[in-house]
Structure 1
Amino acid sequence: MGRIGCNVDGILDDTKFSQPIPWVGVYIVAASLACLIGMATDTILGICNRKFWFPCKYFSLNATSLTLIGVAVKLSVDLDTSMPRPSEQLAKLSSSALICTIMANSMPSLGAMETKDMFMNLMALAILVITVIVNICMQLGTGVIYVFWREHILLMFLMLILLLLMVSSALTVPTTKQYLEYKYSKKHEMAVKENLAQTEGPITQIFKDKLMKFWMMAHTSSPQFVMGRSPTCTASGAFCLLSAIILAVAMLRSYLMPWSFRFCRGESDYKWSTILILVTQNAAVGVGTIAPALRWFIAIKFRCPEVIKRSSHEKKEFRVETYWIESLHEMKDRPLKLRIPDRHRRKLAHDAKVLFLDFCIRVQKGIVLISKATRIISIFLVSSILACCHHCKILKPRFDKTVSSISSGTVSQPEPKPDLRRFVLHLEGEEALVEVMLKENHDATNHWIRVGEKRKPRHLMQLLEKSSVSQGFKGVGAFDSDKVPSLHPEEPPNSWSLPLVTLTAIAVALPNITRDSVKQLLDTVHEGLHFVDLVENTLDKEGDLIRVRKAAQKVWIRIDLYRKWFGLDLNKLSEKSPEETLQRLADTAKAKYEEFKMKNINVCLRASPSAWPLEVMAANSMYRISNTVLFNCKSKNEFGSETLFEELTLVIADILGSCLVNLPHVLSVKCVKGAIEEREDNVRHAGYIFGKTKKIMEMLERRAFPNLYRRGAIKIDEWRLIHEQNSRFFPFTPSSPENNTETTSSESSDLSLCQIIVGPS
């Protein structure tokens, strides 16, 4: 019997070694397709979100993308597999072009990285690029690549240029972040002072002005936007477009002019997979070039509007700003971390470091000047297109004004816009960009507000119309009564969401309630919980309510999806009478607590209620609320399902309304919360939420007592405490519809659920 891998003569049989190679080609196709999808997604999101500097979200420079790149460019580093046919030679060329495309696409992502991660990723990319270049040179020497050698040389040159541009840009990231963070803090202080001074007008207009200031600061200081408008990123877009053109020209020449090439005969070990590789990588290069090319074109227009106005460039355009070389100068002034015993050797090492950094500074200046020269050359090449676009922009407002005058007889005056020039954050040398950035992004806040307005929570708005906002949301103080004995000497804290979902569970379990009413309530609570979660996530800074909120989420999932409260089927409970339903819920909740107490008797007596299991927290809430409803309705002798369902709905409306009073404050906190990389998305999301809830804010302000937004309580327990103390800030004296006798101060704090909603009997 012959040995494995050997034939009958004992000679190694290497014919089987190449059999899996076509499937290796499929693996290359899969990696190239992943790169294509990532770059396409970022491009689409950039266009849809009006981020025309195309920040990297799904395809940035990281360990995953570097691994995909390494697999996708395997043909470029394959030294000994023959590639005789045109498709195979073009596939090697497309792999080189793909590297250029990926580097240009991922350049803005450098701004969003931590310094250590950024340089580690750049080091890995540099090793990969140098390896590819060395392997291509070897293949040119051995004849594996025997056509398109000029194109390969050009693409290798572009690879090196793009790598240098990325390294040059990375050196500025720590410096620009520190500088912009400092300017942001100063501008933020100024914005806060102006907002405090602005006390007149509706709360929505005040908040909108505040939002526009925060947006302009966050947007213009966004690290990816700063990187996207830099000359190095502009130049990378030009070089990426050039690499795509080189590949396209080679493709056209090979298929339209085959006589100009002498291809060899034969078949590669990759066989049919090379066609798939060529098609996929060409598609990846084509799609991936869109973002850098548009970034390049828009940056030219964005950077130099004076070209459109046919004004000449100034010499200061070729000045290297200090932030480009500041980090290198700081390295020169730092002592060596490596301690060398001999002073003379330490001096030599320090001098060598200084000489090396001086060389790096000169190289950095050269790269910046080349980038700026590329930008200037690009501007002159496309100046006619820019001038045409500018001319069309001038004509369009005139045409619109003419049409408006013809149709209405008058020209409508545009809404006055606040002056936001002071809140545009820019770097040294970007003074000419202030007006352009202001003009391009003045209406961005309005855009996201309009997007939010199209998705208003209609169910929630209808419910809040029923809330007792003018009486201080009296239902907030009524869902839990002190007359219900506690299960434990110490009660866990209440969140906004847990009483909300508990009341919803009780309402769903009531008998003789139509499915449409139940569905309407569940849809409303679903809409409301989205904003309640936002309030709680933002304002619970100490994290005291994390477990209570998790308990509410666990309860809500079961109610929304399965109509269950843990083990209880709420649909089956609705077959009983309202009194039996409430009693069953209270008994089940108490049983869950007792079960926990028996299993953990020592822990239960010592542990804080905040450390209880989620089920026990939910059971405690159900026990207290269901007993409160049961006790109050027994005292009134009223157990009508429809009446009780309406009462519970109104209490839910009050809880939601009192929670949403905090929205302006929450959105303001959200605008300034987080690192510099996150602020732009935070402000954009705040504008979107403001658009969705704008009508709600106006409704609450219109129907509320004075200073509601400025003095509302943050936590639900604070609202309940205010109601219990019958504070002057929330004066309400519910009275009977039959007789207008006023409730005394002591009585108003103990009003039952049924009494507060329908009046005392």
Structure 2
Amino acid sequence: MPLTGNGNDGDVQRQLETPMPWIGMYVAAASLVCSLAMTADVFHGFRTKKLWFPSKYFSINAASLSLLAVATKLSVDLTTNMWAVTDRLAKVSSLIFMSTAMGNFMTSFGTMNDKEILLNIIALGVLVITVIVNVWIQLIQVRHFLGGREIYAEEIIASFFILLLLVMLSASAVMVPTTKRHLELKYQEMLKLATEEEILQSVEIEILATDKLRAMIKKYWVMAETSSPQFVIARSATCSTSGVLCLVMAFILAEAQARMAIKNKTFRETASSYGWSTTWIVLAQSAGVLVGTIAPAFRWFTAVNFAYSEKGQMSFKTAFKIETYWTQRLEEWKESSLPLQIRDRKWRKVLNDAKGLILSFVIRVQILIVLSSKLFRLISVCFLSQIKRLKNIFTASTSNIHGFSESESGVNTEQDLTRYVLLLEGEVEQPHKTLKDICNEVDKVIEIGKKQQPQNLKNLLLKIDKFSSLTEIDDYQVPSLHSQEPPNCCSLVLVILTTIAIAIPNISEHSTNWLLSSVNQGLFYVKLIEKCLDRNGVRLNIRNAADYAWQEVELYQKWQDKNLQEMSRNGRNSKNILQELSRQAGETVEEFKRNVKDCRMKDSLNWPVKVIAANSMDRIARTILLVNESHDPLTDEELFNQLSTIIADVLAACLTNLTRVITMKCQQNGIEEREKSVHQAALLLGETEEIIHILQQHKGQSLNPEKSAYTKKWFVLMEHGN
């Protein structure tokens, strides 16, 4: 029978409300995760001296929007009575926390493509409208009781500011694709100019000195940093205004908390079913608002600082100019045809007119938002200009006291790079300090790379000028086990040679471990070079074979499930080891030939990685056996040293492409990945600077005609077989 008694209804209600405090803790945990992500972005900005705080850890995506939906649960709760002090503060803090998160989101649009921007802004809009509608339903339904309700004014203001921030985020999102196109065109023009300068200076990519590489990286770093879509958004008018709004919202929350504390003498007063958890919600969200306001506030200051720089003060004529990139995308949508296939001409006309009216209204709203943002920025410039002038006067007087002029401070160095700064229409040149910080960041990254230099690899490369009797290797033509011979690559050759070397008996463990460590360090750069040069991925499977074989060798000292240490102990001499390795590899290839049925296997590039590695092992092992048989017998240690020399030669020949790879990384085309790619180039230069010096020093003495011929023919053999 149905429960009709009031006592039973009360028991059911109490049972339903029992888990509510733990649901509140779930809300607090979601708020805390968002707060920690915003804190991580703040630390990253300060650490890299990017005081416009790029969105690296807290950006608009499915995860962050889901967390925000949980964090704002109290705002959309229409059924729970929340009239006590802590309950009301939790309602307001949820709204202000969301507005702070939206302010932090703005620059993250720069990392997305057009489709991602559209989907994320729609998802954010749905969440914001849901929250606002629920808040206003509550306000309308209890309008007769608002006289006795605490901090309802703060709720109204917060909900209005959230809606305003959504409009501003949408305005910024609309201009991002257009600014990317403009910046890409400017970048390609500057890239052409930089390339022409290098040609005029007669600088060959392969023989670039490290100091010239450093100068080149700085040039491309400036281009990448100043054209970073996140940086462009951070210095825009809408972003600066969103920073002001976030500051105002933070002050509103602080005012509400202070007023409630003074009036009620406590924060911990709750009457809702969420119970004690509302205190934790207020604490977590208040901390998030405090930390999350830092990035928007600094972005506001950054935009104001750029608008009023030493080189270009803002004028009223340019202050309210609407650049084309703000409305160009909307104009394109307005002029485009309808994507719908409607046969009726009348309805097509109605829909087209409706689309034109809607987009005309949206364009006017966009212009209004941009003009309002520029007005806020102009007011900020006027307010802060006096402070900036006083600071400049104080800095100039201090410099004169210490006899330290601007030209001596290294500003002239940045002056040479000012033409590589990429700016949008209407932007003034960036301050000297910003350009100086960008250049200093290059030096810091290179210094970090220097602390990570591969010492064992450098010692191994010192062997590249000590060739042995294996210079006659080109006289030996080893027949292939298969008619379709797969091509080789440097990494696979290095893995095979190292495998043979550590399997040689009577070699000290220290020597084999040193060789393993040296080759492991070298393979990191060899793989990077091969990946960059093999853009189409033609030899991807060959490189995968090298990875497969090296994992077994380095981690377990095994070759295709055979223990190399045990093989070394049981082997009588190096000849016996080479024969055993060749025999095992040959069996693997022959078994593959007998059992292959897939027609794709006719192309050797599609072979299984195990077969590719075995085929390479067979050819190299038999080649070394033939070479040894034509000379006086070598001791195990002599063969180990000769193999170490060949490994050093192979590494040296491959690593001569380092300067080329560094240059290619500097010229990365993708605008979203360009900044990261140049950073990798600077780090790579720092790690390999001494290696490049070693290769340049040995370029003349080690590659004499006889040795150069040997190296060339060895590579022909390894690369193409017969």
- Corresponding residue for 1:301? 305
Contact 1:507 1:645 in 2 (8 A): yes
Moved more, 47-56 or 612-621: 47-56
State yes or no: 1:279 paired with 2:283.
yes
- Corresponding residue for 2:463? 466
Task: Output the CA distance in 1 between the equivalents of 2:710 and 2:541.
Answer: 34
Q: CA offsets per residue over residues 446-491 of structure 1, 9 Å max, x none?
A: 332232223222222222122139x9x998x888884333221232
* The one of 204, 215, 223 aligned to 2:221: 215
Q: CA offsets per residue over residues 636-671 of structure 1, 9 Å max, x none?
A: 343423222222221111111111111111122222
Q: 1:731 to 1:489 in 2, by over 3 A?
A: farther
Contact 1:480 1:624 in 2 (8 A): no
Cα distance, 1:306 vs structure 2:
4.6
- Corresponding residue for 2:18? 19
Q: CA RMSD, aligned part only?
A: 3.6
Contact 1:133 1:156 in 2 (8 A): yes
- Corresponding residue for 1:237? 243
- Corresponding residue for 1:562? 556
Equivalences for 1:256-295 in 2 at 5 Å? 256-258=262-264, 267-295=271-299
- Corresponding residue for 1:583? 579
Contact 1:216 1:441 in 2 (8 A): yes
Moved more, 296-305 or 98-107: 296-305
Q: CA offsets per residue over residues 507-532 of structure 1, 9 Å max, x none?
A: 22223333332232222222211211
The letter of the residue matching 1:445 is V
State yes or no: 1:178 paired with 2:174.
no
Moved more, 38-47 or 361-370: 38-47
- Corresponding residue for 1:430? 427
Secondary structure of 2:126 counterpart: helix
Q: 1:196 to 1:249 in 2, by over 3 A?
A: same
Secondary structure of 1:433 counterpart: coil
Secondary structure of 2:375 counterpart: helix
Task: Output the CA distance in 2 between the equivalents of 1:413 and 1:747.
Answer: 46
Contact 1:587 1:623 in 2 (8 A): yes
Moved more, 444-453 or 583-592: 444-453
Q: 1:76 to 1:412 in 2, by over 3 A?
A: closer
- Corresponding residue for 1:690? 685
Contact 2:237 2:373 in 1 (8 A): yes
The letter of the residue matching 1:158 is F
Structure whose residues are more often helix by fraction: 2
Contact 1:597 1:604 in 2 (8 A): no
Greater RCO (Cα-Cα under 8 Å, separation 6 or more)? 2
Q: 1:101 to 1:150 in 2, by over 3 A?
A: same
Task: Output the CA distance in 2 between the equivalents of 1:674 and 1:318.
Answer: 33
Task: Output the CA distance in 1 between the equivalents of 2:14 and 2:298.
Answer: 49
Contact 1:453 1:692 in 2 (8 A): yes
Q: CA offsets per residue over residues 6-55 of structure 1, 9 Å max, x none?
A: 99979983322122222222322232222123222222223223333222
State yes or no: 1:732 paired with 2:705.
yes
Secondary structure of 1:636 counterpart: coil
Task: Output the CA distance in 2 between the equivalents of 1:399 and 1:551.
Answer: 66
State yes or no: 1:372 paired with 2:345.
no
Task: Output the CA distance in 2 between the equivalents of 1:467 and 1:238.
Answer: 62
* The one of 494, 498, 501 aligned to 2:495: 501
Contact 1:56 1:106 in 2 (8 A): yes
Q: 1:479 to 1:588 in 2, by over 3 A?
A: farther
State yes or no: 1:594 paired with 2:621.
no
- Corresponding residue for 2:623? 628
- Corresponding residue for 2:363? 361
Contact 1:108 1:227 in 2 (8 A): yes
Task: Output the CA distance in 2 between the equivalents of 1:28 and 1:638.
Answer: 76
The letter of the residue matching 2:333 is M
Q: 1:103 to 1:266 in 2, by over 3 A?
A: closer
Q: 1:279 to 1:510 in 2, by over 3 A?
A: farther
Q: 1:454 to 1:10 in 2, by over 3 A?
A: closer
Cα distance, 1:373 vs structure 2:
1.8
Cα distance, 1:173 vs structure 2:
1.3
Q: 1:11 to 1:93 in 2, by over 3 A?
A: closer
State yes or no: 1:203 paired with 2:209.
yes
Equivalences for 1:6-405 in 2 at 5 Å? 13-142=12-141, 146-199=149-202, 203-258=209-264, 267-306=271-310, 313-338=315-340, 347=349, 349-383=351-385, 386-387=388-389, 389-390=391-392, 393-394=395-396
Moved more, 516-525 or 539-548: 516-525
Moved more, 172-181 or 568-577: 568-577
Cα distance, 1:629 vs structure 2:
2.6
- Corresponding residue for 1:652? 647
Secondary structure of 2:535 counterpart: coil
The letter of the residue matching 1:366 is L
Secondary structure of 1:492 counterpart: coil
Cα distance, 1:102 vs structure 2:
1.0
Cα distance, 1:5 vs structure 2:
12
Task: Output the CA distance in 1 between the equivalents of 2:156 and 2:298.
Answer: 26
Contact 2:87 2:270 in 1 (8 A): no
Task: Output the CA distance in 1 between the equivalents of 2:645 and 2:281.
Answer: 63
Cα distance, 1:324 vs structure 2:
1.1
Q: 1:238 to 1:627 in 2, by over 3 A?
A: same
Cα distance, 1:118 vs structure 2:
0.7
The letter of the residue matching 1:368 is V
Moved more, 294-303 or 152-161: 294-303
Cα distance, 1:167 vs structure 2:
0.8
Task: Output the CA distance in 2 between the equivalents of 1:81 and 1:52.
Answer: 42
Cα distance, 1:232 vs structure 2:
0.7
The letter of the residue matching 1:295 is R
State yes or no: 1:638 paired with 2:633.
yes
Moved more, 665-674 or 682-691: 665-674
**Gaps spanning 5+ residues in structure 2: where?**
718-722
- Corresponding residue for 1:757? none
The letter of the residue matching 1:430 is E
State yes or no: 1:529 paired with 2:519.
no
TM-score, normalised with respect to structure 1: 0.84
Cα distance, 1:536 vs structure 2:
0.9
Contact 1:468 1:474 in 2 (8 A): no
Task: Output the CA distance in 1 between the equivalents of 2:324 and 2:119.
Answer: 25
Contact 2:48 2:441 in 1 (8 A): no
Equivalences for 1:698-717 in 2 at 5 Å? 698-705=693-700
Secondary structure of 2:14 counterpart: coil
The letter of the residue matching 2:585 is A
Q: 1:288 to 1:434 in 2, by over 3 A?
A: closer
**Gaps spanning 5+ residues in structure 1: where?**
405-410, 709-729, 735-742, 754-761
Contact 1:502 1:621 in 2 (8 A): yes
Task: Output the CA distance in 2 between the equivalents of 1:474 and 1:102.
Answer: 69
Q: 1:564 to 1:537 in 2, by over 3 A?
A: same
Contact 2:492 2:542 in 1 (8 A): yes
Secondary structure of 2:110 counterpart: helix
Secondary structure of 2:240 counterpart: helix
Secondary structure of 1:15 counterpart: helix
Q: CA offsets per residue over residues 235-284 of structure 1, 9 Å max, x none?
A: 1122112212222232233334535x9x9976322123222222222222
Task: Output the CA distance in 1 between the equivalents of 2:502 and 2:83.
Answer: 73
State yes or no: 1:451 paired with 2:448.
yes
The letter of the residue matching 1:319 is K
Q: 1:126 to 1:644 in 2, by over 3 A?
A: same
- Corresponding residue for 1:724? none
Cα distance, 1:574 vs structure 2:
2.4
Cα distance, 1:389 vs structure 2:
5.0
Contact 1:198 1:206 in 2 (8 A): no
Contact 2:233 2:239 in 1 (8 A): yes
